[in-house]
Structure 1
Amino acid sequence: MATPFLDRDLRVIPIDAYIDPPQPRARAIITHGHSDHARSGHGAVLATPDTIAIMKVRYGEDCAGQFQPLEFNTPLQVDDVTITLVPAGHILGSAQVVMEHRGQRAVFTGDYKRLPDRTAQPFELAECDLFITEATFGLPVFQHPRPLDEMARLLRSVAAFPERSHVIGSYALGKAQRVIALLRDAGWDAPIYLHGAMIR
């Protein structure tokens, strides 16, 4: 049996790097720019260029000691571990982390979305021996309606009640952009107003 090279804290043991660590680490691999995955204070950050740009906007240019951008599907050899970032489809720049070490291949998905979304690079399936996934909505009880059906429902309400404001709550990063894109795809061409907190 092969020796594990990833521990329960998502530390890539041979290179002492942590995936999406909740506290500052000397080396961090960041899957995407949401604040439950990307935090400031790391010594060195490896992430996609889009994720690095998001981190700098959200936390400041100096939110990490140094940044190493890694394009999708570009293997990076760090000692005897090969790291490749593969699109996760969650938000702009979101990545799955593919790690190869001594014949083992592990994938940490981070947050991912398999549905088409023009605001994020499309999800790509990565083959592996070990699969570690986020499962926020993994239970069968979660049955999400089709996005375009929801947009049609919203637009029917807007047409039926034109004198009323229609407020849509969403995360500022990722979800807001997706809702705007879906509304445009559904034919809404009138202005869409954002709360000031959504701008940054």
Structure 2
Amino acid sequence: MGVMSNAKAENWPGNWVETRPEGLYVRPGGFYVDPMRPVDRAVITHGHADHARPGHRAVLATSGTLAIMRARYGEETGQARQALAYGENIRIGEVEVALHPAGHVLGSAQVSLTWRGARLVISGDYKRRRDPTCPAFEPVPCDVFVTEATFGLPVFRHPPDTEEIAKLLHSLEVFPERAHVVGVYALGKAQRLIRLLREAGYDRPLYVHGALQALCDLYEAEGVPLGPLRPALAAEKEAFRGQIVLAPPSAIADRWSRRLPDPLTAAAFGWMRVRQRAKQRGVEMPLVISDHADWDELMQTLEDVGAPEVWVTHGREEALVHAARQRGIEARALSLVGFEEEGQ
């Protein structure tokens, strides 16, 4: 954007965005982005619980994120709630705020903040590949880019989603007598996996753990068709042979999954790239399907946004900071606490 030639200029984002115990605070606007404890005014990037917490007095987010928060927190979502559409601008205090698609889950957004001609963009969690359940990530040119780094190591290069789905469907053909139980997060991963299966031609009913149902219903209500779903407790044991059952990660390892016939356990997470982690969790079929950018996508994003300065948070910060500096980008780690990594 060409406004940051003097790093000590008053409008440099480092002079008006600061890290506090509550999280990132935007001083000329008097609000926080994804605060980790209740505050007066919060802008929320997406509905995962480590970013969208209950108890704020006023909340600004996309309509999709607000719907997710209402489903999870009810009246604790916030005393005042304001929905902002992608690309719409609003002024909070002295700061111009806009939300742009992040491609992470339904309603997920990057937060663009502009003050006195300088723009800072907070990515929240994001991915760069296509997701049939939410709009694709849109690079936003800025002076400072705050990026996640969940998979900020060169070893993390996610395979095409279609290959992982094909692996699951092939296993169904090879082991038709076994129930295939797949560990997925209730928000985002479950619905994305369902849509990917539908796009691959799997039109049979899918069985879902009760913990997933409410958010699947919400996605349907928000215009994301998921096809026929059945409660995972609504059939006799033998009826699950040759079927796909979706459940939270915790359910795979406990007695819940043992009621299924000869269960073949799978898990759909970016961390499944680490085979030792899959083995430790008793996962027979790791599916590397992530809702976060991998290393190549992080590098591509730094190039696309063109920010001369990058702040890195919640993930493998050191490697990404080093790589950014090698590319002539000023970079530092924010070292925010309270954000969970995928698969934890």
Please report the TM-score for the alignment, with normalisation by the length of structure 2.
0.57
The letter of the residue matching 2:125 is D
Name the residue aligned to 1:72. 86
Question: What letter matches 1:98 in structure 2?
Answer: S
- Structure 2: segments with no counterpart, 5+ residues: 1-7, 215-344
The letter of the residue matching 1:41 is: G
Higher helix proportion, which one? 2
Size of the alignment, in residue pairs?
A: 200
Q: Distance in 1 between matches of 2:9 and 2:90?
A: 22
2:302 paired residue number: none
Aligned position for 1:167: 181
Please state if 1:155 is matched with 2:162. no
Aligned equivalents of 1:196 and 1:64: distance in 2? 26
CA contact (8 A) 2:59 2:78 kept: yes
Name the CA distance, whole Å, in 2 between partners of 1:61 and 1:190.
37
44-53 vs 9-18, which deviates more? 9-18
Report the counterpart of residue 2 of structure 1 in structure 2: 9
* Whole-angstrom CA distance in 2 between matches of 1:12 and 1:142: 32
**For residues 140 and 168 of structure 1, what CA distance do their matches in structure 2 show?**
27
CA displacement 1:94-122 (0-9 Å, x = unmatched)? 00000000111000000011100110111
Q: CA deviation at 1:19?
A: 0.5
Q: Distance in 1 between matches of 2:183 and 2:97?
A: 36
Distance across 2 between alignment mates of 1:62 and 1:24: 10
**C-alpha displacement at 1:145, in angstroms?**
1.6
TM-aligned CA deviation for residue 142 of structure 1: 1.1
In 1, Cα distance between equivalents of 2:106 and 2:77:
19
Give the equivalent residue in structure 2 for 1:194: 208
* Letter matched to residue 129 of structure 1: D
> Which stretches in structure 1 are left out of the alignment for 5+ residues?
none
Structure 2 CA distance for aligned equivalents of residues 170 and 102 of structure 1: 43
- Per-residue CA deviation, residues 123-155 of structure 1 (Å, 9 max, x unaligned), is 111010001011101211112121100000110
1:132 correspondence with 2:146: yes
The farther-off stretch of 134-143 and 163-172 is: 134-143
Aligned-partner residue type, residue 2 of structure 1: A
Q: What SS does structure 2 have at the residue aligned with 1:54?
A: helix
Distance apart, 1:6 and its partner CA: 0.7
Query: Could you say which residue in structure 1 is the equivalent of 2:244?
Result: none
d(CA) in 1 for partners of 2:136 and 2:32? 25
Secondary structure of 2:79's aligned partner = strand
With a CA cutoff of 8 Å and minimum separation of 6, indicate the structure with the bigger relative contact order.
2
Distance in 2 (CA, whole Å) between partners of 1:67 and 1:55 is 10
From 51, 74, 83, give the equivalent of 1:60.
74
Alpha-carbon distance, 1:62 to partner: 4.3
Aligned residues of 2:40 and 2:57 also touching (Cα < 8 A): yes
Could you tell me which amino acid in structure 2 is paired with residue 12 of structure 1? V
Q: Name the residue aligned to 1:122.
A: 136
Note the C-alpha offset of 1:5. Answer: 1.4
Secondary structure of 1:42's partner? coil
Alignment pair present for 1:181 and 2:192: no
**Paired AA for residue 135 in structure 2:** Q
For residue 6 of structure 1, what is the amino acid of its counterpart?
Answer: V
Q: How does 1:95-110 map to 2 (within 5 A)?
A: 95-110=109-124
Task: Please report the TM-score for the alignment, with normalisation by the length of structure 1.
Answer: 0.97
1:177, distance to aligned residue in structure 2 (A): 0.4
Q: Match for residue 291 of structure 2?
A: none
